[in-house]
Structure 1
Amino acid sequence: MRYVAPTRESLDRRVLAVPPLAQWAEFSPFLTESAWPETAALNALLPRESEVHFVAQDKALLDDGLHYEERIARGAIATREANWHDLFNALVWLRYPALKRALNVRQVAEIAAMGPRERSRPQCALTHFDEAGIVVTLQDPAMLAAWDRHDWHALFWTHREAWRSGEARVDIFGHALLEHALTPDKLLVGKALVVMGGGNALATCAQAIASGEILNDPQELRPLPVSGVPGWHAETATEAFYTTAPCFQPVRAGRLYPAALDGTQSRP
């Protein structure tokens, strides 16, 4: 069933006080003010040297015949007015421009190879990450092993202090995932890239995407029920949540995940 976001008027603003939306507090005026922000207000937050800007999507814009990604490559991010999905997309561009740019460069290359009407496996992977992506940083290999076997109780309950202390971290990247978080208590599942060790996990992912090292197939992405992160859902204080909630699915027979990216290695 297609997700329908709440109207701006009916939004339960309590969702803005808990993760993941609490992590976007610097943009709260765009989410809470009665009027929808215009593209000019979003463009005002872009760095002066930005190669892209937000453009209101209308018939005149679409009549150029370009693919959405091709238009971005020319500097214009088509943005529908009064639209949660596109607003969150804009906020992600403002926070994670290197990741967004890496995805766009790869998408445009795939469009050139496949044509505008066909979609390759890399395009599907890039789109899945763009819409529902998360970057997870872990330090403890035991947590990755628990994730491999979908032992959600171990990952989130046994190791809950790692999540609370920030030793284990989730950064939400997918704008559709942020949009879904507008519905209170909705069980959220992201599609993850994993970085082990220290360093800048977001930069590590951006570089690996740009080089074509990752996101060549949707199966590279790991599902993670982010509602299980302690404090991200009201039920995370209850141990039984991790064995009864429908978002915590068992691993599919034969499903294997790729190795995590190494955040400790310098990347060119």
Structure 2
Amino acid sequence: MKRFTPPEQWQPNCLKTGAFNHLNSLFKLNEQTQWPSPKWFTPYLNATNENNLPIQFVDDAQIDFAERYYEQVIFETGEVPTRTENWHDLFGGFIWCLFPKTKSLINHRHVQDIAEYGLTKRTKHRNALTLFDECGVVLAISNSKWQTWLRDHQWHKAFAEHRHEWGESIQAFMFGHANYEMLTRPYIGLTGKALFINVPDEIFCKDLAMQYQYLDQVLYEKIKIEHCLADNSHLSPLPLLGVPGWHEDNKNDTFYNNTDYFRPKRRTCA
């Protein structure tokens, strides 16, 4: 598999693929002429952490970590350490804007877990929180067939044969900011972790901002009440370049014939 190397300069051309449509639509990201600063997010932010402090993005170099872990700083101060001219942290900022309740909950869960178990060894819960935070994709579905097909790695059926149904009974919403970073230079092998969220059909008719607001609330409840990230069992591999519209090459159905990338489901003997 090709190793990911992030671009070193502000290159809006790499944001023109369909994978960035939501960010370009809601934030006009592809129209920016230079790196957005941490303060650039302020008009878009409406987040308070679970310690009742307003979230704000602060230059990483200005923060006194005082031997605190990243998540502890956010919980104790409301300040999100943000490296300037850094793709990873830039995309992390967008996820805070789009999923403020869920991000605040995940932050609190990290802090609670650290208080109970320490930093030395990650629990299954913290592993799941981290994996979803970095690589998660929310798949909003109104028909259970999508979960069946995708969890069973029926890639051609879900991505090619039923491509026309994307946006009608299924839609992908990026949560993992590391996914976005890697999609600035997409490569065969790039895989996220899908979490399926059942939604009513009418959700797909709402404007994009309202869809995110709805999903943020539902996702918050699934994590807080249903404990869907107690471990990794609810997360399913998702070849990101296979999502219809997210990569130019997948317009051709033969793209899905690459079984090194679109791998069949491993069958285990009883």
For the aligned pair, the TM-score class normalised by the smaller chain equals 0.7 to 0.9
Where does residue 3 of structure 1 map in the other structure?
A: 4
Where does residue 176 of structure 1 map in the other structure?
A: 178
Where does residue 266 of structure 1 map in the other structure?
A: none
Query: Distance in 2 between the 1:186 and 1:33 partners?
Result: 28
Alignment of 1:125 onto 2:151: no
Where does residue 211 of structure 1 map in the other structure?
A: 225
Query: Distance in 2 between the 1:19 and 1:187 partners?
Result: 18
Per-residue deviation, 1:196:
2.3
Q: Which runs of 5+ in 1 are unaligned?
A: 256-268
Matched-pair contact (CA < 8 Å) for 2:149–2:155 = yes
Q: Deviations over 1:86-140 (max 9, x none)?
A: 1110111111111111111111111111112221111010000000111001222
Aligned ranges for residues 96-135 of structure 1 at < 5 Å?
96-135=99-138
Where does residue 36 of structure 1 map in the other structure?
A: 35
Query: Distance in 1 between the 2:145 and 2:34 partners?
Result: 47
Where does residue 208 of structure 2 map in the other structure?
A: none
Alignment of 1:247 onto 2:261: yes
Alignment of 1:56 onto 2:59: yes
Q: Which runs of 5+ in 2 are unaligned?
A: 204-213
Query: Distance in 1 between the 2:47 and 2:165 partners?
Result: 38
Query: Distance in 2 between the 1:208 and 1:27 partners?
Result: 27
Matched-pair contact (CA < 8 Å) for 2:128–2:229 = yes
Query: Distance in 1 between the 2:17 and 2:60 partners?
Result: 31
Task: For residue 224 of structure 1, give the secondary structure of its aligned residue in structure 2.
Answer: strand
TM-score scaled to structure 1, two decimals? 0.84
Where does residue 222 of structure 1 map in the other structure?
A: 236
Give me the identity figure in percent: 30
Matched-pair contact (CA < 8 Å) for 1:143–1:154 = no
User: Could you tell me which amino acid in structure 2 is paired with residue 80 of structure 1?
Assistant: R
Deviates more, 1:219-228 or 1:103-112: 219-228
Per-residue deviation, 1:145:
1.8
Question: 167, 190, 211: which one pairs with 2:192?
Answer: 190
Per-residue deviation, 1:19:
1.9
User: Could you tell me which amino acid in structure 2 is paired with residue 210 of structure 1?
Assistant: K
Query: Distance in 1 between the 2:266 and 2:233 partners?
Result: 12
Where does residue 259 of structure 1 map in the other structure?
A: none
User: Could you tell me which amino acid in structure 1 is paired with residue 5 of structure 2?
Assistant: V
Matched-pair contact (CA < 8 Å) for 1:135–1:202 = no
Where does residue 158 of structure 2 map in the other structure?
A: 155
Q: CA RMSD in A?
A: 2.4
Relative to its length, the structure with more helix (as a share) is 2
Matched-pair contact (CA < 8 Å) for 1:106–1:210 = no
Task: For residue 35 of structure 2, give the secondary structure of its aligned residue in structure 1.
Answer: coil
Taking a change above 3 Å as real, the CA distance of residues 159 and 206 of structure 1, as seen in their structure-2 partners, is same
